[in-house]
Structure 1
Amino acid sequence: MNLDYTSSRRKFIQQVSCSIGSSFLAFATPAFSKGFTLQEEAAASAVIQEPTRKLGVALVGLGKYSTDQLAPALQETQRCKLVGIVTGSPDKAEEWKRKYNIPEKNVYSYQNFDSIKDNPAIDIVYVVLPNSMHAEYTIRAAKAGKHVICEKPMAVSVKECEDMIQACKSADRLLSIGYRLHFEPYNLTMTEFAAKKTHGAVKVITAKDGMDIEPGVWRLDKKLAGGGPLMDVGIYCVQGALYTVGKNPIAVTAKEGPKTDMKRFSQVEQSLTWKLEFPGGIVANCECSYAEEMNLLRADAEHGWFELKPAYGYKDLKGETNLGKLNIAQVNQQALQMDDFANCVLQKKKSKVPGEMGLRDVRILTAIYEAARTGKRVELTNL
């Protein structure tokens, strides 16, 4: 049996634009109608009240994610557009200038980045650099008067996250974290099922994310990445557990897995397992790996279960419950994410995935590492 979640266009716009109020969580109720184009869905997410100019976005760092995901998504957005780039590669700069018609005056290096403050065409800076560089460029962008989207994880330490939030507050600029799955209908459905108790109260969450990473990439350099798979794919498991349960965890236990490739994993963990404890006795059993492919978010409840497999990819997500398969329209997650932030800037309202959420998650990641290192249960009291 297929479970088909549809609605009228008006209801779609209303539900995608609304938020569930919470200090750490704000989601739209998923009611995605098949047949809408990605452009219509992006427009619905932005809730266009009246015509206005598109906000200019500059991508800082032109690696794989910018190249394969963000730049193409910016060709589909309704409230923002790609107007600038920051790169240390002259060859990449020339290629991007030609491909996306970017004027020379909107091309920056890491050395002259601060002069972006004099460019009124750029409203938003999207930081897509190695994790250890997130704090520096977020702070510099805020001081330059630009609103900021920062890729996940927000930073490599709690202190850096706090400094980023303070810098944006001092500059009166908005800060958002690149949590694209908060705009993805399958993941939103997990939140809705749990909140509405469609299968009874949730008892156990299972979250797994992993890949077989190629050797020699910056993500295996602890100085650049801050850690291994936990900092990269593991954060999706943490997020998935939290937005499915709808509560913050209260404690964590964890264990690092064995290393079977000492050359590849000389600086970071190869895998980690951890258990998050939530109020009411709910638990989330999580696992991440840089040596094994896995992609699952599952909730076992009183009267059934619901899951996504794969759960965290850029496209082709699939869902199922004990009653049958889910049939929900696929969307361009990054386009919806960036349009939502542009709309926040235009309406002068806080993002649903703000810096405070990124800080919360880095606190949890830090506690997971501590629990794995010490073998002790670590309470989470400052979320």
Structure 2
Amino acid sequence: MAHITRRNLLVGAGAVALGAATSRVQSQDPKPVGWAILGLGNYATRNILPNLKHCKHTKLAAVISGTPDKAKRIAGEYGLPESKIYSYDDMARIKDDPDIEVVYVITPPGTHAGFSIRAAEAGKHVCCEKPMASDSTECRAMIEACRKVGTRLQIGYRCHFEAHNLEAVRLCRSGALGQIRTIRSEHGFTMNTDQSWHSKRALGGIGAISEIGIYAIQAMCYLAGADPVSVWGTRDKLDVPRFKEVEDVNHFNLFFPGGIQGIGSTAYSWNANNFRVLGSRGTLDAEPGTPYSGHRYRLNGQEMTIAPNNQWAEQMDHFSECVRDPSKPLIASGEMGLRDILIMEAILKSADEKRVVNL
């Protein structure tokens, strides 16, 4: 495997454009791909498991959990026999379960690398929630683990499959806004307790910039249609216990080829969910821009009407199709996840060294 540098990784990730996820191609193999859901927290139980019934190429094959009672209850709700319930401790047994082809890792970010590598070592394809991992070293280890056994790795970037964000990308690509000059984005939420896993570096990863600021970084990249060549950033936090281990407020600039500039902010101490694209011939405002539902988009001040779609079913079916067809390009690859963590690390380096950092 060629050595992955920050620069060639960024260039490679940029080549994977936000795809036309809504135009699914029927798999040559009509058999749905079996997925094991690893981690049964709120996101899994409220957004992933309920939407499996809307998938065309994906089915639930097993659950993997560290909470036996919850696993048994969820398995019962979805008609799984007890033989399809695995624990974190004995998940190596999934290697002998041919019904499981994909493991979807939906746990706190600090555990992503460990679980993803274990799933790959069991010979399974991996879909891992964002952010990909706690640092770029872990990201590379995940990519290598899948490469070694010949399985595929997708990151759970749902906005690449969501109708409003897809329309925003179409508008940027079509020239409707003219030449894109600036992309602004703020994403944050208020973390009120130091008991949340978000406040623990070992579980929550870098902090707000990786957990919620990732939406701003992602939006800038897919709206610009490119990867940044350099970054500038700041870091700040309130002097309170919940921010002892993790990042709170980060402001950052991403500099793209062609003069496009991204201006972003993220925090665990205020709420925001928006992006704004400023072009030479028009403006696109999105607030909220990347929610689960309830998007509001305005083109040159006029409210847009965009039919919603099922972003979770689209995301899962896309990966199932990629599993069935190894030649099918991934829309949200492990390399893209690594790219984003490298951008975050460069932002923090910029903040510490008080200079622009090249990628």
Query: How many aligned positions are there?
Result: 346
Q: Measure the CA separation in 1 of the matches of 2:196 and 2:301.
A: 42
SS in 1 for 2:133: coil
Preserved CA contact (<8 Å) 1:29 1:192: no
The RMSD of aligned alpha carbons is 1.7
1:230 is the counterpart of 2:209: yes
SS in 2 for 1:312: coil
Question: Relative to structure 1, is the Cα distance of residues 252 and 50 closer, same or farther in structure 2, using a 3 angstrom cutoff?
Answer: closer
Q: Measure the CA separation in 2 of the matches of 1:295 and 1:187.
A: 13
Question: Matched residues, percent identical?
Answer: 36
**Per-residue deviation at 1:24?**
3.7
Q: Which residue of 2 aligns with 1:378?
A: 357
Structure 2 residue aligned with 1:28, among 12, 19, 29? 19
Preserved CA contact (<8 Å) 1:253 1:274: yes
Preserved CA contact (<8 Å) 1:83 1:102: yes
Question: Relative to structure 1, is the Cα distance of residues 214 and 60 closer, same or farther in structure 2, using a 3 angstrom cutoff?
Answer: farther
Structure 2 residue aligned with 1:169, among 147, 151, 156? 147
1:200 is the counterpart of 2:178: yes
1:304 is the counterpart of 2:295: no
Q: Measure the CA separation in 2 of the matches of 1:22 and 1:147.
A: 20
1:365 is the counterpart of 2:356: no
Preserved CA contact (<8 Å) 1:135 1:155: yes
Letter in 1 for 2:257: P
Question: Relative to structure 1, is the Cα distance of residues 49 and 153 closer, same or farther in structure 2, using a 3 angstrom cutoff?
Answer: closer
Preserved CA contact (<8 Å) 1:316 1:330: no
Q: Measure the CA separation in 2 of the matches of 1:372 and 1:334.
A: 35
Give structure 1 stretches of 5+ with no counterpart: 1-20, 31-43
Matches within 5 A, 1:267-346: 267-322=245-300, 324-346=302-324
**Per-residue deviation at 1:45?**
4.1
Matches within 5 A, 1:182-221: 182-215=160-193, 216-221=195-200
1:93 is the counterpart of 2:71: yes
SS in 1 for 2:60: strand
SS in 2 for 1:291: coil
Give structure 2 stretches of 5+ with no counterpart: 1-11
1:245 is the counterpart of 2:255: no
Letter in 2 for 1:25: V
Preserved CA contact (<8 Å) 1:276 1:285: yes
Q: Measure the CA separation in 2 of the matches of 1:328 and 1:229.
A: 29
Task: Say which is worse superposed, 322-331 or 293-302, in terms of deviation.
Answer: 322-331
**Per-residue deviation at 1:375?**
1.9
Letter in 1 for 2:35: V
Question: Relative to structure 1, is the Cα distance of residues 344 and 29 closer, same or farther in structure 2, using a 3 angstrom cutoff?
Answer: closer
Preserved CA contact (<8 Å) 1:184 1:333: yes
Letter in 1 for 2:350: A
Q: Which residue of 2 aligns with 1:105?
A: 83
**Per-residue deviation at 1:213?**
2.1
Q: Measure the CA separation in 1 of the matches of 2:62 and 2:338.
A: 27
Task: Please give the per-residue CA displacement for 1:338-369, whole angstroms capped at 9, x wherever unaligned.
Answer: 01100111122231111111111111011111
Preserved CA contact (<8 Å) 2:216 2:275: yes
Q: Measure the CA separation in 2 of the matches of 1:350 and 1:192.
A: 19
**Per-residue deviation at 1:51?**
6.6
For normalisation by structure 1, the TM-score amounts to 0.87
**Per-residue deviation at 1:22?**
7.2
Question: Relative to structure 1, is the Cα distance of residues 29 and 126 closer, same or farther in structure 2, using a 3 angstrom cutoff?
Answer: closer
Letter in 1 for 2:106: V
SS in 2 for 1:149: strand
Q: Measure the CA separation in 1 of the matches of 2:214 and 2:73.
A: 32
Question: Relative to structure 1, is the Cα distance of residues 214 and 377 closer, same or farther in structure 2, using a 3 angstrom cutoff?
Answer: same
Task: Say which is worse superposed, 188-197 or 204-213, in terms of deviation.
Answer: 188-197
SS in 2 for 1:269: coil
**Per-residue deviation at 1:258?**
4.2
Preserved CA contact (<8 Å) 1:45 1:340: no
Q: Measure the CA separation in 2 of the matches of 1:157 and 1:106.
A: 32
Letter in 1 for 2:213: G
**Per-residue deviation at 1:29?**
4.6
Q: Which residue of 2 aligns with 1:41?
A: none
For normalisation by structure 2, the TM-score amounts to 0.92
Preserved CA contact (<8 Å) 2:237 2:243: no
Structure 1 residue aligned with 2:25, among 25, 34, 47? 47
Q: Measure the CA separation in 1 of the matches of 2:189 and 2:116.
A: 28
Task: Please give the per-residue CA displacement for 1:44-76, whole angstroms capped at 9, x wherever unaligned.
Answer: 643215671111111111111111111111121
Task: Say which is worse superposed, 320-329 or 65-74, in terms of deviation.
Answer: 320-329
Q: Measure the CA separation in 2 of the matches of 1:214 and 1:65.
A: 19
SS in 2 for 1:253: strand
**Per-residue deviation at 1:191?**
1.5
SS in 1 for 2:270: strand
Matches within 5 A, 1:131-142: 131-142=109-120
Task: Please give the per-residue CA displacement for 1:294-318, whole angstroms capped at 9, x wherever unaligned.
Answer: 1111100111201211111111212
Task: Say which is worse superposed, 89-98 or 45-54, in terms of deviation.
Answer: 45-54
Preserved CA contact (<8 Å) 1:58 1:83: yes
